Structure 1
Amino acid sequence: MAELTVLGSSGAWPEAGRACSAFLVRDGGARIVLDLGYGVLPRLLALCPDGEVDAVVITHEHPDHCVDVSGLARVRHYHAAGRPRVPLYCTAGVLDVLRAAEPTIDPESVFDVHVVHGRDSWRVGEHVEVTTVPVPHHVPAVGVRLSGPSATIAYTGDSGPADALVELGADADLFVMEATLTEPDPGEVPRLLTAGQAAELAERAGAATLMLTHFWPGADRETAVREACAVFSGDVLAAEEGHTLTLQRPVQPQSSLRLDGT
């Protein structure tokens, strides 16, 4: 089985009692963190003491997605000295944020850093394939797709509506999508999604379940779910801190062989 635990679900800054968008995925024996924004680190440490994970993947450099990587660097520097560096996959701007936040601990001293340049792929552990796809946002950003033995999970990070998201979430068991806006972005190139736009793209992708996240502080989450349910034919969930979703890819039935050879 695969598990996705919601570490945070807010966008921009965390509402009281919440944290910014972040997820812990377990599949195939690997523990993978997707984004680490404001308020996430204590929740991660409660599940993975000393930040012992197999990879951290950061979608872009905005602080509501990456600032607590700086705190994790301190944990690894002071409490995990001598242990293997945690693989960190991120866009280039994330490293600038980390070095500005903590000039005395270079990210590469505690992390095995891999800069993601748009479309990329790699393996975490023996069984999880990770793919990134460029998505439209205010800064260089990627969506992330995890294909493990138990489930395929796709995550938009922050993104405007684009065909790239249909590719990202194609036939995913779970598509985690940002739903920041209540009205469509009026910009020439939209940079964020509404719940309805997320649902439309998830439906086109053929995803089984849609989870909405990155809610603007004060947003009515029930309204967002209703808006998505009007468009998406599968289950729709709102990300809630502390919730763990268990996923298991359906077993495809084997075709039977009849004695007459048909």
Structure 2
Amino acid sequence: MRVTVLGGGGVWPEAGRACGGFLVEYDGFRLLVDPGFAVVPELLRWVGPGEVDAVFVTHGHPDHCADLNPLLRARALSGKPDVPLPVYAPAGAVDAVLALDRVGMLAFELCELRDRFAVGPFALETRLLPHSVTNAGVRLEAGGRVLAYTGDCGPDPEVVALARGVDLFLAEATFVDQVPAGASGVLSSARLAGRQCADAAAGRLVLTHLHPGTDPAASRAVAGEEYGGPVEVATELIGNGPIDL
């Protein structure tokens, strides 16, 4: 399994830093996970718009799905290909993005999320995790390798269950340490991500969804106080090439 970090910021894209987005590949199949703000320009460094085989969206906030529109536009207006792109998302999550263009212009197929299902060579397991809108954390397995991704979520035992024993844990860490009262229960921190990664005995931690202006070194250090394995920050991995699991 190969993972390319396309973005790792949260809320809005900073200069040179797209919001959350990951290209996951196995056996020639390309799954784009969370095409957030400014993800498509990063994606096009690696593959053409017609080379994406499916899209998975954790939830409907635009920093996780807004660039589904330019991806579908690029496919439609370049004519490569004209087959519908399968889009897996919670019910209603991408309706606003898909409504940005006239009916019939964009070729896509909305697919139902289930607890367990297959997309190409990937076996997917989803769990609803606490956020201000419906958010589906996902566990992806192919070729004996496994990754888990939280989307955005507050603390919940289901996060540890989702990440149990994975090779790579992509964990939302909007804040460095304490989560402000207004976001308590719906967002996370680097410290909590490190603690959950340790509890899950995951092999590698990548912190994502950092709030704009956050010092990546501070997030990495705090997560490392809780988790003794390798800790990286998604915003520092953009453009560095794929991670081979």
Q: 1:151 to 1:67 in 2, by over 3 A?
A: same
Separation in structure 2 between the aligned mates of residue 188 and residue 79 of structure 1, nearest angstrom: 41
CA distance, structure 1, for counterparts of residue 136 and residue 81 of structure 2: 31
CA RMSD, 1 decimal: 1.9
Match of 2:4 in 1: 5
Which residue matches 2:69? 70
Cα shift readout 1:80-112 (whole Å, capped 9, x = no counterpart): 36632221101123232123422x0458x5112
Pick closer, same or farther for the CA change 1:113–1:128 going to 2, 3 Å. same
CA gap of 1:16–1:189, structure 2 versus 1, over 3 A, is: closer
Q: In structure 2, which of residues 173, 188, 202 is the aligned counterpart of residue 179 of structure 1?
A: 173
Deviation at 1:50? 2.4
Q: Secondary structure at the match of 2:218?
A: helix
- Give the corresponding residue for 2:127: 133
Offset of 1:158 from its aligned partner? 0.6
Q: Distance in 2 between matches of 1:198 and 1:146?
A: 18
Q: CA deviation at 1:62?
A: 0.4
Which consecutive aligned stretches of 4+ in structure 1 deviate over 6 angstroms post-superposition?
Answer: none
Instruction: Name structure 1 gaps, 5 residues minimum.
Output: 249-262
Are 2:106 and 1:112 equivalent residues in the alignment? no
The amino acid across from 1:247 in the alignment is: D
CA distance in 2, matches of 1:188, 1:71: 30
Q: Compared with structure 1, are the counterparts of its residues 152 and 214 closer, same or farther at alpha carbon in structure 2 (3 Å cutoff)?
A: same
Deviations 1:198-236 (A, max 9, x none): 111111111000000111000011010000111112111
| Counterpart residue identity of residue 64, structure 1 | D
Q: Retained in 2: the 8 A contact 1:21–1:35?
A: yes
Match of 1:257 in 2: none
1-side partners of 2:51 and 2:123: how far apart? Answer: 20
Q: Distance in 1 between matches of 2:221 and 2:79?
A: 45
> Contact 1:45–1:51 (CA<8 Å) still a contact in 2?
no
Partner of 1:45: 44
> What TM-score, normalized by structure 1, do the two folds share?
0.86
SS of 1:18's equivalent? coil
| Larger CA deviation: 22-31 vs 63-72 | 22-31
Counterpart residue number, 2:215: 220
Instruction: Look up the match of 2:158.
Output: 164
Q: Where do 5+ consecutive residues of structure 2 fail to align?
A: none
Matched, 1:235 2:230: yes
My pick for the range that moved more, 78-87 or 43-52, is: 78-87
Pair 1:49–1:99, CA change in 2 (3 A) = closer
TM-score (norm 2): 0.92
Q: What letter matches 1:121 in structure 2?
A: R
Indicate the larger mover: 7-16 or 48-57: 48-57
Select the residue among 187, 192, 195 that pairs with 1:197: 192
Rounded Cα–Cα distance in structure 2 between residues aligned with 1:215 and 1:80: 36
Counterpart residue number, 1:86: 85
Percent identity of paired positions between Structure 1 and Structure 2: 38
Distance 2:217 2:129 in 1: 26
What SS is found at the alignment partner of 1:72?
helix
In 2, are the aligned partners of 1:30 and 1:124 still within 8 Å (CA)? Answer: no
The question of whether the paired residues in 1 share the 8 Å contact of 2:167 and 2:202 is answered with: yes
- Distance of 2:175 and 2:81 partners within structure 1: 44
| Paired letter, 1:45 | L
Distance 1:81 1:105, change over 3 A: farther
Mapped contact 1:99–1:106 kept (Cα < 8 A): no
Q: Determine helix, strand or coil for the equivalent of 1:10.
A: coil
Are 1:86 and 1:110, in contact at CA under 8 Å, matched by a contact in 2? yes
Aligned partners of 1:91 and 1:115 also within 8 Å: yes
CA–CA distance in 2 between the matches of 1:82 and 1:142? 28
Larger C-alpha radius of gyration, 1 or 2? 1
Task: Show CA shifts across 1:148-184 (max 9, x none).
Answer: 1052011111111111111111100000001001322
Distance 1:4 1:82 in 2: 23
